[in-house]
Amino acid sequence: MGFSVKRWSVVGIVSLIVNLSALSAPQAQDKILITYGGQNETAGPMWVAVDKGLFKNLGLEVRMVQMRSGQFNVAALMSGDAQAIWAGVSSVLLGVSGGAKIGCVGSPFNRITRELIVRRDIDSLAGLRDRVFGVQSIGGGLWLQTMIVLDRLGLDPDKQGLKMRVIGDEPTILQALLASNIDAAVITYASAGIAKRAGFRSLMNTAELRVPYQGFTMCTRSDLIANSPDLIQRLVKGMVEAVVFIQDPRNKRGVMEVLKKNLRLSTDGDAETSYNSLHLVASLDVAPDPEAWRNIQKFVSRVSPKVAQLDIHQIINGGFVKTLEETGFLPEARKKLGL
């Protein structure tokens, strides 16, 4: 009997040590690679979620990698090299029209916050006739925003002879503008500030426009949504927590530091401009918006008629945001911001 008591005491101690070790050991993190195209503050929520450990707190080890265009992002996703993409709606539509099986689960961007910047010798919209605009790719997010802005200003690229030239990402477009290799570009406030200090003109602040729009969006493969819904739910949660962090005035300095580092901004003034733009546009209204997607579909169909045949509801998935609403997560997030 005494032997039995001693035996179970040892087993119990060993078991307790093992359980305590398991509790104190770092939990395994799901490794996620997210690719993105636009090198500007629209990647801010993802950078903040990574830098401030918001994804890590949800059991996700996320790495962000920039790629040259939306098409490369879609290719990386479908090959399995990336588990998710932070992509423009236009790029997703083009990818799906080419056979990619993609689902998009949420976006914090419902407004375009950019400026139409032009060379010194252009002083009106009429002066844009036959001019060259810089874009990152035909059909990509920057091209889309440019087309939407021109449409709202009553400018038809075909009738006005406006030319879209593929230059590269936004820093490259800015350099092309400063070197007068292009005549105009629809660029973020931070880049616009640099151009205006160099003597370039702003013909339009796009924040004044009201159009059905949805910007960079969290998307992944349809099979991953079906097979790993918990992982996708945590990605959406991290995105929401990043927006809350960005919108909290107490975090302004921290967000500026993230933007300054990732955008390689040289001054605090440029970082603050970038922060102000992100703070203005980042929203907790993160559910996929069918009306905005249909509006974008109309523009993208001009370069790819097959896009017009797509059923938007086969691409967008509002279930993850709905769950966050029903569980009280999103209402609590709004409450934190006094909304």
Q: What is the pLDDT of residues 173-188, one digit of tens each?
A: 999 999 999 999 999 8
CATH assignment of the domain containing 177: 3.40.190.10
Same domain, 234 and 327: yes
State the pLDDT at residue 27: 54
257 with 222, same domain: the answer is yes
92 shares its domain with 125: no
Neighbouring residues of 104: CB distance < 8 A, sequence distance ≥ 6: 89, 92, 217, 218, 219, 288, 315, 316, 317
Compute the average pLDDT of residues 69-77: 89
Residue 105 and residue 218 in one domain: yes
Per-residue pLDDT band at 2 (split at 50, 70, 90): very low
Using a CB cutoff of 8 Å and minimum separation of 24, what contacts does 160-165 make? Answer: 160/128, 160/129, 160/130, 161/129, 161/130, 162/128, 162/129, 162/130, 162/131, 162/132, 162/133, 163/130, 163/131, 163/132, 163/133, 164/133, 164/135, 164/138, 165/132, 165/133, 165/134, 165/135
Sorting pLDDT into bands at 50, 70 and 90, what band is 113?
confident
Is the domain of 103 the same as that of 223? Answer: yes
Query: Is 145 found in the same domain as 102?
Result: no
The pLDDT assigned to 6 comes to: 35
Structural domain boundaries enclosing 272? 30-109+214-336
Neighbours of 15 (CB within 10 A): 10
DSSP secondary structure code for residue 338 in this structure: T
Domain C-terminal end among 208, 242, 270: 208
With a cut of 90, say whether residue 47 has pLDDT above it.
yes
Regarding whether 239 and 97 lie in a shared domain, the answer is yes
Q: Verify that 229 and 329 share a domain, yes or no.
A: yes
Cβ neighbours around 80 below 10 Å, total: 10
- Percentage helix, strand, coil for the chain under 3-state DSSP, each rounded to 5: 55, 15, 30
**315 domain-assigned:** yes
Please tell me the predicted confidence (pLDDT) of residue 121. 94
Whether residue 8 is predicted with pLDDT greater than 80 in this model: the reply is: no
d(CA 238, CA 226): 19
231 found inside a domain: yes
3-state class (DSSP) for residue 35: strand
Which percentage of the chain shows pLDDT scores above 90? 76
Say if residue 68 is in the same domain as residue 189: no
Nearest to 107 by CA among 331, 252, 282, 313: 282
Within a domain: 181 = yes
Q: Which amino acid is at 243?
A: V
Planar angle of CA 23, 24, 26, nearest 5 degrees: 100
Residue 18 located in a structural domain: no
- Chain position carrying tokens 């200003």: 153
Tell me: do 235 and 275 sit in the same domain: yes
- Residue at 20 is within a domain: no
Residue 219's DSSP bridge partners are: 85, 104
Pair (242, 320) in one structural domain: yes
Residue 146 lies in a domain: yes
Q: Determine the average pLDDT of the residues in 112-136.
A: 94
- Is pLDDT at 105 greater than 90 in this prediction? yes
Q: Which residues contact 256 (CB under 8 A, 6 or more apart)?
A: 268, 271, 272, 274, 275
Using DSSP, state whether 102 is helix, strand or coil: strand
pLDDT at 17: 33
Look at the chain and report how many structural domains it folds into: 2
Q: Above 90 in pLDDT, residue 190? A: no
Residue 9 belongs to a domain:
no
Q: Which is more confident, 324 or 266?
A: 324
User: Which of left, alpha, beta for 99 (phi over 0: left; psi -120 to 50: alpha)?
Assistant: left
What is the pLDDT at residue 239?
98
Q: Last residue of some domain: 161, 189, 208?
A: 208
Residue 32 DSSP code: E
Res. 39: pLDDT tops 70: yes
Same domain, residue pair 66 and 97: yes
**Residue 7 lies inside a defined structural domain of this protein:** no
> Which of these ranges, 17-31, 100-114, 209-223, has the smallest mean pLDDT?
17-31
